[in-house]
């Protein structure tokens, strides 16, 4: 009887013993394509999912099996079987367009691995592989066929195994003759007969109607071959089965012929598989391809080839440079050495500053008092310059170039921009020796990266954004981190103690409502209580069981009194761990929190804030206000909080020029109330709070690409009602609807979203055929333009405010940025002037129509300044 693959031991021992691997390139390319998201693409929008998956498979083949030779076989206008059966593979879907774009590059990738591409005109890859297995078998070469097609079962022999790849190369199933017999219930030699009876729906091979795999195997076990089945057809039970066999005899034999892999292609009669052995991978060529396709993970894995493949001689190793030893010097001597240099690469590591210029290479102890003067002259090139400048106490120096920021602007969706990764990706290397060698290696490296990244930025029209926005912002952020903001630790501790008491009370109440104790912070245990013991309906499920996330709890809130208890417990628990206990620990000896700002984390261009994250403190909850009240000014000083008024909606109005929105802003009206009045066709004075809230949700939902489902969830209304509201909104605001459609089309054509100041964010999701993925791309196209423009505008304001505060010698400092809000600490006697200055610079950061508006407040605490 046939068995499932999961019932068999299909370990890869036979594959590990193989010397020659024959790969069905077409089947693996398709498997790779469907294994990865459609939005897998380079920063320029070129799809690379199939190439990445295929390359991963090839690399794993190299690493896990160290083959002596690999031949990748391809279909080449196959017509032989079509002549036999015009319906052959007729219902197969056409090759996806995104795969078609990648198809020409597979052979080049194969060659870079040191493998051979092979195809024969009019023949399928199966037949090429079939012929090669026969030749290799006759030559005594242990061979492994790599394919996803079940008809390849017929190719196994004592020296030929078959590797099936149901999940790329992450799971392999290896078949031998004995294993095929167990799996199918018939020997491998009977596979064509099996196909003749049961057919093959994937290839449109008809077989005999009503005969499935189990029945076909039983018939072949009794009668041996297709001829045997028909010789004994009168002995077969079941009148319908017998009738179908008799009526479809010709179809059965034609199906067997269609399912038989050709083993003797004349064009390959003189092909010698042994001649394909021993070709090593071209590591430099692989590195070049991986860099071009931005396959950073695979690029890193190339470094392992030397240790993983000791038996192979690797051609063209990754580049290495001469070993450089820097001159150890002092700050004063360095100043003299750099006097005539226009630029210098710098890096800090292990207590040393490495410096590289056109006149030499040096290392200096970072605590040398003369360093600041030495670095004030040449334009400084660094990787993540803010970190280096802070370590040197040179926060006020603006770098001339930052390789991390450059790489970020080119590819804002990356998870990181490590120096070594950038060097590897651009084929650059340098070796250093002696004291301070790590710092010197980076200093020399950033100078090597500088021209390469500059050229790429110029090609993408991004040099101006780097020079005019991101680089001038570096010293502003460095100084913000140095200054920090004071916190009232006793206030935070008092709030924490009160929260801990309430949490204990909430836990007791939850136990009472649940009928016993459980761990409130465990989604698994909470799910068992809610959906098991309490019998509440499951709303959605994931891999680990029923979901208990925020949206699920919101739906369940009317059904059980335990839900508000859980929600409140989660809110307080998060605040207690994230802020109330963490902030006092984060405060330095000066009583101030010195958070870290990052320019190269968020793909939209927004700044992020860590250690601690001060951008996520709740704004509208009472306890959030209490926490903000614990951020205080020093004695004799005040805090100024200045934030934009609905900046993202103003950007939307500016971009679409919808008269209703633009006029409401110009008149200084409540734009949400005005929107509700417009959509509902009533006077603004008659709009209720609930109607205003709905209008507000739609206004902001447009920016974030909200769907009817999302709006229904947010407002807790029916989805049809939510859709009707969105439709009415867009109907009354046709310019908004046109803007959305035009933006999506333009972004899809370019391959990236483009902000008002020229920031680019690739949106490969718009190339996807999958509806959900494509809709995500549509939302990202709108959001990236609007939110990214808002992020750029407040950066302009930060630079302008900082410059004027210094130029006019105000006793004030910018201490926080929270999305659309800036917080300054200022001397009491300078507060009025600085407040006016900040508002002036913020509203003039960009000429929007309707214009920007900023609201500022002054107080002894952050909360008071916001009132």
Digit-coded pLDDT (tens) for 107-163: 999 998 889 999 998 888 999 999 999 999 998 899 999 998 888 999 999 999 999
Q: 87 with 204: CB under 8 angstroms?
A: yes
pTM: 0.75
- Alpha carbons 406 and 348: distance in angstroms, whole number: 19
Examine the pLDDT at 322 and tell me if it is beyond 70: no
pLDDT at 84: 61
- Alpha carbons 309 and 281: distance in angstroms, whole number: 10
* Among the ranges given (91-105, 495-509, 605-619), the one the predictor scored with the smallest mean pLDDT: 91-105
pLDDT at 89: 67
Shortest CA distance to 114 belongs to which of 64, 49, 61?
61
Examine the pLDDT at 314 and tell me if it is beyond 50: no
Shortest CA distance to 12 belongs to which of 146, 140, 137?
146
pLDDT at 839: 98
Token pair belonging to 123? 């023949």
- Alpha carbons 27 and 11: distance in angstroms, whole number: 21
Find all residues with CB under 8 Å of 468, minimum gap 6, and list them: none
Q: Which residues pair with 251 in a beta bridge?
A: none
- Alpha carbons 487 and 612: distance in angstroms, whole number: 13
Average pLDDT over residues 752-768: 92
Find all residues with CB under 8 Å of 511, minimum gap 6, and list them: 517, 518
Shortest CA distance to 180 belongs to which of 191, 192, 165?
191
- Alpha carbons 863 and 867: distance in angstroms, whole number: 7
Average pLDDT over residues 768-783: 86
Token pair belonging to 344? 């210098």
pLDDT at 488: 95
pLDDT in tens, 286-298: 888 888 888 888 8
CATH superfamily of 5-183+262-276: 5'-nuclease (3.40.50.1010)
To the nearest whole percent, how much of the chain has pLDDT over 70?
95
pLDDT at 587: 92
Q: 530 with 565: CB under 8 angstroms?
A: no
- Alpha carbons 30 and 50: distance in angstroms, whole number: 7
Confidence of residue 862 (pLDDT cuts 50, 70, 90): very high
pLDDT in tens, 571-582: 999 999 888 998
Torsion angle, alpha carbons of 188, 193, 194, 198, to 10? 160
pLDDT at 167: 65
pLDDT at 311: 39
Average pLDDT over residues 95-117: 89
CB atoms within 10 A of CB 84: 11
Distance, C-alpha 233 to centroid of its chain = 59
Confidence of residue 312 (pLDDT cuts 50, 70, 90): very low
Residue 464, CB-side half-sphere exposure with 13 Å CA sphere = 8
Average pLDDT over residues 239-246: 84
- Alpha carbons 226 and 286: distance in angstroms, whole number: 48
Confidence of residue 74 (pLDDT cuts 50, 70, 90): very high
Shortest CA distance to 43 belongs to which of 603, 544, 588, 517?
603
* Among the ranges given (199-203, 558-562, 781-785, 839-843), the one the predictor scored with the smallest mean pLDDT: 199-203
pLDDT at 166: 73
Shortest CA distance to 603 belongs to which of 437, 752, 464, 737?
752
pLDDT at 318: 40
- Alpha carbons 117 and 635: distance in angstroms, whole number: 76
- Residue 395, φ and ψ in degrees, nearest 5: -60, -30
Average pLDDT over residues 602-631: 90
pLDDT in tens, 551-563: 889 888 999 999 9
- Alpha carbons 285 and 296: distance in angstroms, whole number: 15
pLDDT at 85: 58
- Alpha carbons 709 and 719: distance in angstroms, whole number: 6
pLDDT at 1: 59
* Among the ranges given (596-600, 666-670, 715-719), the one the predictor scored with the smallest mean pLDDT: 715-719
- Alpha carbons 450 and 440: distance in angstroms, whole number: 16
To the nearest whole percent, how much of the chain has pLDDT over 90?
47
Shortest CA distance to 707 belongs to which of 683, 734, 750, 740?
740
Residue 59, CB-side half-sphere exposure with 13 Å CA sphere = 23
pLDDT at 278: 65
pLDDT in tens, 339-368: 888 999 999 999 999 999 998 999 999 999
Q: Where are the alpha helices (DSSP H) in 85-207?
A: 97-102, 106-112, 125-138, 177-184, 191-198
- Alpha carbons 346 and 356: distance in angstroms, whole number: 7
Confidence of residue 209 (pLDDT cuts 50, 70, 90): confident
pLDDT in tens, 370-417: 888 888 888 999 999 999 999 998 899 999 999 999 999 998 988 889
Shortest CA distance to 652 belongs to which of 844, 820, 782?
782
- Alpha carbons 781 and 742: distance in angstroms, whole number: 10
pLDDT at 309: 47
Question: How many residues are given for the chain?
Answer: 867
Bridge-based pairing of strands 143-147 and 20-24 is: parallel
Report the CATH fold assignment for 323-483: Nucleotidyltransferase; domain 5 (3.30.420)
Judging by beta carbons within 10 Å of its beta carbon (0-12, 13-18, 19+), is residue 198 exposed, middle or buried?
buried
pLDDT at 310: 39
Q: 772 with 813: CB under 8 angstroms?
A: no
Is the CATH number 1.10.510.10 carried by domain 648-788? no
CA distances 781 to 333, 702, 735, 762, Å, are 52, 11, 17, 9
State the maximum Cα–Cα separation within the chain, in Å, rounded to a whole number.
109
Between vectors from CA 397 to CA 391 and to CA 402, what angle results, nearest 5°? Answer: 80
The better pLDDT of the pair 45, 378 is held by 378
pLDDT at 281: 83
Examine the pLDDT at 496 and tell me if it is beyond 80: yes
Sequence ranges of the domains in the chain: 5-183+262-276, 323-483, 485-593, 648-788
- Alpha carbons 101 and 82: distance in angstroms, whole number: 26
The mean of the pLDDT values for the chain is: 88
CB atoms within 10 A of CB 426: 19
pLDDT in tens, 687-727: 888 888 888 888 888 777 777 877 887 777 888 888 888 88
- Alpha carbons 325 and 330: distance in angstroms, whole number: 16
Token pair belonging to 154? 């017929």
Report the CATH fold assignment for 485-593: Taq DNA Polymerase; Chain T, domain 4 (1.20.1060)
pLDDT at 609: 92
- Alpha carbons 421 and 408: distance in angstroms, whole number: 13
The better pLDDT of the pair 299, 333 is held by 333
Examine the pLDDT at 25 and tell me if it is beyond 50: yes
CB atoms within 10 A of CB 323: 11
The better pLDDT of the pair 654, 11 is held by 654
DSSP classification of residue 861: B
Confidence of residue 91 (pLDDT cuts 50, 70, 90): low
Examine the pLDDT at 317 and tell me if it is beyond 50: no
Torsion angle, alpha carbons of 838, 843, 847, 848, to 10? 150
- Residue 328, φ and ψ in degrees, nearest 5: -75, 130
pLDDT in tens, 46-71: 889 999 999 998 888 888 888 888 99
Examine the pLDDT at 198 and tell me if it is beyond 60: yes
Examine the pLDDT at 307 and tell me if it is beyond 60: no
């Amino acid at each position: 009887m046939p068995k499932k693959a999961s019932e068999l031991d299909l370990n890869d021992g036979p594959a590990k013993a193989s010397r020659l691997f024959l790969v069905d390139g077409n089947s693996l390319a398709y498997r790779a394509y469907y294994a990865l998201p459609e939005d897998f693409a380079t920063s320029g929008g070129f799809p690379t999912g199939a190439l990445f998956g295929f390359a991963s498979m090839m690399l794993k083949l190299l690493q896990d099996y160290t083959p002596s030779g690999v031949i990748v076989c391809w279909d080449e206008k196959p017509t032989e079987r079509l002549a036999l059966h015009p319906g052959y593979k007729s219902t197969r879907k056409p090759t996806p367009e995104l795969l078609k774009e990648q198809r020409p590059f597979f052979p080049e990738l194969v060659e870079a691995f040191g493998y051979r591409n092979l195809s024969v005109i009019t023949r399928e890859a199966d037949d090429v592989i079939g012929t090669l297995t026969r030749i290799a078998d006759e030559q005594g070469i242990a061979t492994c066929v790599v394919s996803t097609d079940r008809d390849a079962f017929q190719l196994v022999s004592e020296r030929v195994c078959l590797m099936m790849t149901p999940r790329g190369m992450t799971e392999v199933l290896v078949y031998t003759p004995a294993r095929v017999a167990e799996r199918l219930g018939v020997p491998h030699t009977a596979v064509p007969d099996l196909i003749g009876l049961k057919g093959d729906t994937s290839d449109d091979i008809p077989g005999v109607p009503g005969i499935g795999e189990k029945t076909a195997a039983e018939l072949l076990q009794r009668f041996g071959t297709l001829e045997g089945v028909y010789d004994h057809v009168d002995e077969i039970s079941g009148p319908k089965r017998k009738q179908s066999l008799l009526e479809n005899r010709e179809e059965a034999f034609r199906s067997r012929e269609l399912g038989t892999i050709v083993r003797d292609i004349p064009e390959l009669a003189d092909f010698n598989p042994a001649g394909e052995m021993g070709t090593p991978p071209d590591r430099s060529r692989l590195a070049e391809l991986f860099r071009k396709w931005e396959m950073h993970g695979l690029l890193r894995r190339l470094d392992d080839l030397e240790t993983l493949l000791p038996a192979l001689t690797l051609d063209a190793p990754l580049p290495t440079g001469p070993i450089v030893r820097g001159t150890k010097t002092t700050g004063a001597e360095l100043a003299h050495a750099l006097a005539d240099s226009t630029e210098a690469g710098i890096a800090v590591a292990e207590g040393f500053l490495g410096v590289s210029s056109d006149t030499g290479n040096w290392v200096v102890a970072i605590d040398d008092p003369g360093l600041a003067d030495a670095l004030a002259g040449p334009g400084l090139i660094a990787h993540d310059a803010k970190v280096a400048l802070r370590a040197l106490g040179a926060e006020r120096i603006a770098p001339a170039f930052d390789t991390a920021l450059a790489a970020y602007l080119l590819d804002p969706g990356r998870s990181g921009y490590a120096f070594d990764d950038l060097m590897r990706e651009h084929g650059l290397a340098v070796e250093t020796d002696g004291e301070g060698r790590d710092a010197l290696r980076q200093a020399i490296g950033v100078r090597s990266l500088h021209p390469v990244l500059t050229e790429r930025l110029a090609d993408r029209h991004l040099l101006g954004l780097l020079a005019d926005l991101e680089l001038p912002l570096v010293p502003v952020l460095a100084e913000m981190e140095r200054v920090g903001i004071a916190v009232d630790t006793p206030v935070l501790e008092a709030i924490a103690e009160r929260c801990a008491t309430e949490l204990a009370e909430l836990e007791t109440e939850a136990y009472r409502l649940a009928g016993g104790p459980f761990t409130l912070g465990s989604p698994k245990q909470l799910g068992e209580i809610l959906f098991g013991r309490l019998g509440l309906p499951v709303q959605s499920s994931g891999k680990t069981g029923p979901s208990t996330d925020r949206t699920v709890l919101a739906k369940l809130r009317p059904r059980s009194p335990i839900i508000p208890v859980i929600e409140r417990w989660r809110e307080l628990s998060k605040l207690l761990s994230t802020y109330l206990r963490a902030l006092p620990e984060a405060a330095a000896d000066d009583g101030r929190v010195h958070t870290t700002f990052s320019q190269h984390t968020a793909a939209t261009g927004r700044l992020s804030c860590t250690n601690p994250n001060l951008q996520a403190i709740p704004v509208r909850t009472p306890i959030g206000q209490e926490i903000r009240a614990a951020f205080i000014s020093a004695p004799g000083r005040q805090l100024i909080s200045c934030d934009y008024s609905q900046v993202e909606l103003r950007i939307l109005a500016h971009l679409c020029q919808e008269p209703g929105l633009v006029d409401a802003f110009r008149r200084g009206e409540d734009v949400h109330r005005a929107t509700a009045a417009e959509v509902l066709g009533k006077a603004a004075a008659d709009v209720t709070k609930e109607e205003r809230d709905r209008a507000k949700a739609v206004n902001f939902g447009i920016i974030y690409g909200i769907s009817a489902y999302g709006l229904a969830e947010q407002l807790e209304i029916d989805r049809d009602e939510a859709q009707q509201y969105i439709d009415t909104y867009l109907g009354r605001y046709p310019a908004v609807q046109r803007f959305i459609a035009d933006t999506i089309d333009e972004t899809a054509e370019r391959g990236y979203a483009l902000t008002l100041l020229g920031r680019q964010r690739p949106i490969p999701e718009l190339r996807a055929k999958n509806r959900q993925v494509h809709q995500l791309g549509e939302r990202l196209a709108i959001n990236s333009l609007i939110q990214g423009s808002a992020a750029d505008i407040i950066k302009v304001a930060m630079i302008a405010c900082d410059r004027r505060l210094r130029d006019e010698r105000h006793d004030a400092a910018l201490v926080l940025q929270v999305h659309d809000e800036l917080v300054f600490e200022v001397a009491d006697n300078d507060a009025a002037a600085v407040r006016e200055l900040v508002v002036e610079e913020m509203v003039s950061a960009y000429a929007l129509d309707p214009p920007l508006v900023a609201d500022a407040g002054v107080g002894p605490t952050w909360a008071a300044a916001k009132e």
